[in-house]
Structure formats: C-alpha cells, structure tokens
C-alpha cells in the first residue's frame, strides 16, 4: 500500500505524481516520464525550467545575503528590481514605488490596503468600498477572495468576506447582443461601473479592480476596444482608483511587460506575480503610481502594511535575472510570434469543432471554451466534471494544461487555458495542439452533451 502523504494536498484522497526535475519546457516525474508544461503551472514558468542565468543569480545572491528584515535594512536586489519595474511601467509610474511580496494574493491585499490608506491620507476616509467584476479572480486570501467574482470559489467563505460589489465582465462571446458593435457593447459594459458607483454613493468607493485579461476563471478573455478607456474616464469622474490585476496576464505573458499597455489605459496601482519570478522564487509586486505614492509621502510618510518576507533578497535577485533574460533573449518577440502561431493552430484544429464555442487570448495566453451546443452556447453541466477529466487525460499524454470549470456562470461551463513558456518553438506548438486534440477527443467521447 502506498505511503500516506503528510502534505495537505489539494485532494486529500490522492497524491499527485512526484516531479523530480525540470528541463526547458518539460517537467519530469519520478518514473522518468516527460511532460510538456504548456501552462507553466498556472502561467508561472515563463522561462521554462532550469534556466542557467536565473540559477546563477540565485546562487550568487545566496553567497552574499539571503535575508534582512525591511524594518532594519534595504538590500541591493530589491532596489535594483524596483527601479527596473518603474522604468518599464506605464506612464504615471515614473516616480512611483514598488512593494515586493510573496504571492499574487498578498499583492492584491497590499493593493487594497494601499487604496484605503491613500484616501485616509488625502482626507476622504469615507471611501472604503471596492468594485470588481463577476467571474474575476484576484487571489485566495480573504480580502482578495472578497473582490473576486467567481461564485464557486467564494461560496465556502462567503460569511467571512468583506462586502464588495461586482459588475458584469467585458466578455463579448457571452454578453454582447447580436445588434451591438464591439465598441457599443464595450461602452455598455463599462457604464455598469458608473451605475454601481452612483448606487453606492460616489464618495464611498475607493477602487475598481480588474484583470486587463481575465485569466483562470473565464479563460483569457480580452476586453473589446474602448472598454478600458471608458473605465478610466468613469474612475476619474468619480475620484476612484483603478487597480489593474496583472498577476497572471502581466510580465510579458500577453506580449508586453504590462498588459495594460496594450489597452492604452493608465492604472493607479498594478499587481504582478507569477512570471515576475518565473517559478524560481516565490515573489509578487505591487506598483504604486506617482499619484498614490506621493499622497502617502506627503502625508504620514509611513506605509501602513508589512510582511516578514517583503523585498526578499534572493527572490528579487531571481526576478532581475528573469527580466534580463526576457530582454536579452528577445522573448517578448517570441511570445508574439509563437502566440500568433498558437492561435492559428488552435483555430485550424478546433475552429469548427462541435464542442468548442470560442478560441481567444493574446500572446502566449490562449484558451478554448467548451460547450455542449455551439449554436446556443449552452455549457456542459458541472456534474460532467469535464475540465478535471481533460486535465487528467492530457497529463496521461504528457501535456500539462490548465482546464477550469464554472466558465459560463460560475457553476457550469469549462475551458482549457494554455500559457506555455516564452521559449517555445513551432514544434512545441504543434505538440501542444496535437496532444490537446487527443485529450479532448478521448474525454468528449465519454461525455453526453445532452445530459
């Protein structure tokens, strides 16, 4: 009988395969089986595995300084990394500041706290409400979960979550009317924010939180043209901060360091993680714009938040190496080229598939949404357990992808998200699409769409 694991795994009734090594785009388990990591875990491993430059930076930093608490010292890697991010950030961040944390959830908590402190510092303490979007995901800690909009992920913890508001996502495949242009739909969707701010009382809202590209919950949904420009107008009209959650879609995943650049929108606070450390170290960051940082600097001068492992020297050193590698190896260009190829191959393979309703994304951040019926867009019922079965079948074939459920309404619906390393080539793209096709065929062959 297999030895019982003492790890509190996600499923207490089974233990996942034991990963023992990573090589480039592959993970290798204890039996020597190789898996093409086509989702980078959860869009994390943007450089693949065992990249020599990153490992050298980590080893060098460990030889100098591993940790010093930020209430006593700063450290060189955190100072360098902060300036690197500010130098690459969108307009409005040139004199901003950066906080380094341990996860995307921590970064979102810090962003919410910073937004609250900002309004206290400028004499508007009545602003404490947060608005986000339905079917969003912003993290798994209580504050981050409270601004998340996925009913299934919130349900267990609902009684202990702070009260927030959600408006509809900008999701043309599901929500645009047949008689609307994309632009008209985008304005209608954005104007829900204006209506919700007015309902709550304009002087009570601190921030609107949104992913520039919705990741895990909806499957790489991009906004239609004009949507985020109208969001910015509405926030400015009511004095509300805009927090851009780029934990999953940022750091080059969509083809630019910051996804909000591609929407030509200026956030007040940005959160990043995942690709920032590329999985080599746990790290996230919160970027405060000039406007927000200056209000606190000119006010109390003190950040009302702290964590033990903020600005961890080794984690920051790893991230410096990640950014340098992306730039020196021209990987943003490769994201754009291979992203276009991946999109093309997905459309060729699944564009007419009877159970693929939509193929969407940007860069190396692509998804297919599965439906029981293409014409009506009716999703598969949750009881079919389709996403989990696709994940298992793909893994048997040596492919790591990121299927998720609840895509249509938080309960029913399924999608498969792909976020492969930035170093992939055309052969890897063909392998991803081929193995995904086989996994879908096997899984759907035992799935009754009418049930």
Q: How far is CA 342 from the centre of its chain?
A: 19
Which string of DSSP letters, residue by residue, matches 240-301? -EEEEE-TTTTTTTTSSSSHHHHTT---SEEEE-GGGTTTSS--EEEEEPHHHHHHHHHTT-
The neighbour count for residue 393, using CB atoms within 10 Å, is 22
Angle formed by the axes of helices 313-328 and 331-350, nearest 10°: 70
**Ordered alpha helix ranges (H), 47-150:** 52-62, 76-88, 104-121, 142-147
Q: What is the pLDDT along the chain (451 residues), one digit of tens a residue?
A: 467 899 999 999 999 999 999 999 999 999 999 999 999 999 999 999 999 999 999 999 999 999 999 999 999 999 999 999 999 999 999 999 999 999 999 999 999 999 999 999 999 999 999 999 999 999 999 999 999 999 989 999 999 999 999 999 999 999 999 999 999 999 999 999 999 999 999 899 999 999 999 999 999 999 999 999 999 999 999 999 999 999 999 999 999 999 999 999 999 999 999 999 999 999 999 999 999 999 999 999 999 999 999 999 999 999 999 999 999 999 999 999 999 999 999 999 999 999 999 999 999 999 999 999 999 999 999 999 999 999 999 999 999 999 999 999 999 999 999 999 999 999 999 999 999 999 999 999 988 777 6
Between CA 285 and CA 293 the distance in angstroms is 15
DSSP conformation class of 204: G
The neighbour count for residue 94, using CB atoms within 10 Å, is 11
Q: What are the beta bridge partners of residue 368?
A: 359, 416
The helix (H) or strand (E) run that includes residue 174 is helix 172-175
Secondary structure of 5-21 in HEC code, one letter for each residue:
CCCCCCCCCCCCCCEEE
The neighbour count for residue 420, using CB atoms within 10 Å, is 28
The phi and psi torsions of 234 (rounded to 5 degrees) equal -65, -45
265, two tokens: 């929108």
pTM exceeds cut of 0.75: yes
306, two tokens: 């702290």
- Contact status, residue 24 vs residue 431, Cβ threshold 8 Å: no
pLDDT at 92: 97
pLDDT at 448: 78
pLDDT at 450: 72
Between CA 26 and CA 16 the distance in angstroms is 17
């Amino acid at each position: 009988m297999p030895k019982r694991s003492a790890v509190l795994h996600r499923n207490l009734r089974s233990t996942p395969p034991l990963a023992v090594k990573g090589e480039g785009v592959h993970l290798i388990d204890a039996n020597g089986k190789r898996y093409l990591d086509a989702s980078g875990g959860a869009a994390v491993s943007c450089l693949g595995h065992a990249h020599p430059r990153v490992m050298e930076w980590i080893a060098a930093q460990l030889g100098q300084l591993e940790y010093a608490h930020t209430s006593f010292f700063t450290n060189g890697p955190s100072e360098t990394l902060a300036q690197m991010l500010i130098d690459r950030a969108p307009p409005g961040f040139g004199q901003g500041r950066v906080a380094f944390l341990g996860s995307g959830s921590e970064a979102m908590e810090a962003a919410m706290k910073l937004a609250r402190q900002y309004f206290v510092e400028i004499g508007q303490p009545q602003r404490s409400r947060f608005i986000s979007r339905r079917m969003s995901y912003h993290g798994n800690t209580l504050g981050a979960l409270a601004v998340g909009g996925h009913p299934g992920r919130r349900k267990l913890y609902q009684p202990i979550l702070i009260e927030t508001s959600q408006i509809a996502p900008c999701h043309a495949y599901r929500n645009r009317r047949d008689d609307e242009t994309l632009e008209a739909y985008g304005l209608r969707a954005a104007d829900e924010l204006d209506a919700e701010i007015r309902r709550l009382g304009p002087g009570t809202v601190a921030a609107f939180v949104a992913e520039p590209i919705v990741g895990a919950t909806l499957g790489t949904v991009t906004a239609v043209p004009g949507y985020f420009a109208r969001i910015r107008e509405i926030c400015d009209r009511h004095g509300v901060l805009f927090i851009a959650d780029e934990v999953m879609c940022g750091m080059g995943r969509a083809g630019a360091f910051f996804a909000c650049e591609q929407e030509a929108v200026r956030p007040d606070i940005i959160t990043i993680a995942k690709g920032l450390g590329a999985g080599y170290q746990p790290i996230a960051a919160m970027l405060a714009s000039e406007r927000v940082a200056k209000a606190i600097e000119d006010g109390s001068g003190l950040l009302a938040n702290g964590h033990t492992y903020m600005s961890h020297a080794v984690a920051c050193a790893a991230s410096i190496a990640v950014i340098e590698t992306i730039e020196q190896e021209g990987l943003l260009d490769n994201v754009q080229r291979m992203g276009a190829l991946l999109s093309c191959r997905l459309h060729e393979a699944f564009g007419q598939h009877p159970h693929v309703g939509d193929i969407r994304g940007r860069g190396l951040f692509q998804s297919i949404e599965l439906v029981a019926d293409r014409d009506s867009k009716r999703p598969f019922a949750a009881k079919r357990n389709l996403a989990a079965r696709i994940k298992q079948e793909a893994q048997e074939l040596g492919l790591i992808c990121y299927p998720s459920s609840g895509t249509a309404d938080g309960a029913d619906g399924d999608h498969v998200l792909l976020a492969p390393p930035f170093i992939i080539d055309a052969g890897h793209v063909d392998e991803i699409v081929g193995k995904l096709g086989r996994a879908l065929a096997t899984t759907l062959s035992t799935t009754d769409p009418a049930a």
